[in-house]
Amino acid sequence: MRQFKTEKRLNKIISTLKARQRSLRVVIENVHDPHNVSAIFRTCDAVGVPKVTLLYTIESFPKISRISSSSANKWIERERFSDTKECFDSLRQEGFKIYSTILDEKAVSVYDIDFTEKIAIVMGNEKRGVSEEAAKLSDRTIYIPMRGMIQSFNVSVAAAVVLYEAQRQRAEKGMYEKSELQEDELEKKIDEWCGK
């Protein structure tokens, strides 16, 4: 039996779950600062990304504080990998195209990408960026156009810029209006979230 405080709370849970975009995934690769990881989780929750993949081949897996993530980690599923190929193989088995954020000669502007496809976006380490292996194994590399002398954002800011472009495209296409969950999956998730 569902336990919830108010009808308003239940309606918020239902509308949030219906807007979750299972066809959009974020991969956090070796991001060192837990505050950056938490900020990415908050953005994922805000745009409806239901699951984050943590790929840590060099750094330790981050501790995600409930305080710094504003409890976003409570509403976001996560999976862990310590091997890049294994991670990317798993994503491809789920049908994802993998796009890594990196400024290289083959990179395409985020404004020229169709984010309404099933896409996993890789965000790299604060200093090293996306690893060479991840970039090589990606289907495409993407970048955020910048007009200043500095050619990089903080990783959490970059994630927000990319994800809000994805949200804009998906909203224009009406993808938030129809749930990607089957009815039975939706009911199961509602029950699960009501218990949180």
Tokens linked to 120? 């996993």
Domain boundary assignment for the chain:
21-194
Q: Name the band, by pLDDT with cuts 50, 70 and 90, for residue 65.
A: low
Average pLDDT over residues 57-61: 87
pTM given for the model:
0.91
Cα separations in angstroms, 31 against 64, 71, 114, 121, 131: 12, 19, 25, 14, 11
Q: For 88-114, what is the mean pLDDT?
A: 95
Rounded (5°) CA angle 45-121-96: 100
Instruction: Look at the domain 21-194 and name its fold.
Output: Alpha/beta knot (3.40.1280)
Answer yes or no: are the C-beta atoms of 79 and 54 closer than 8 Å: yes
Residue with tokens 């954002």: 153
Is 126 or 6 the better-scoring residue by pLDDT? 126
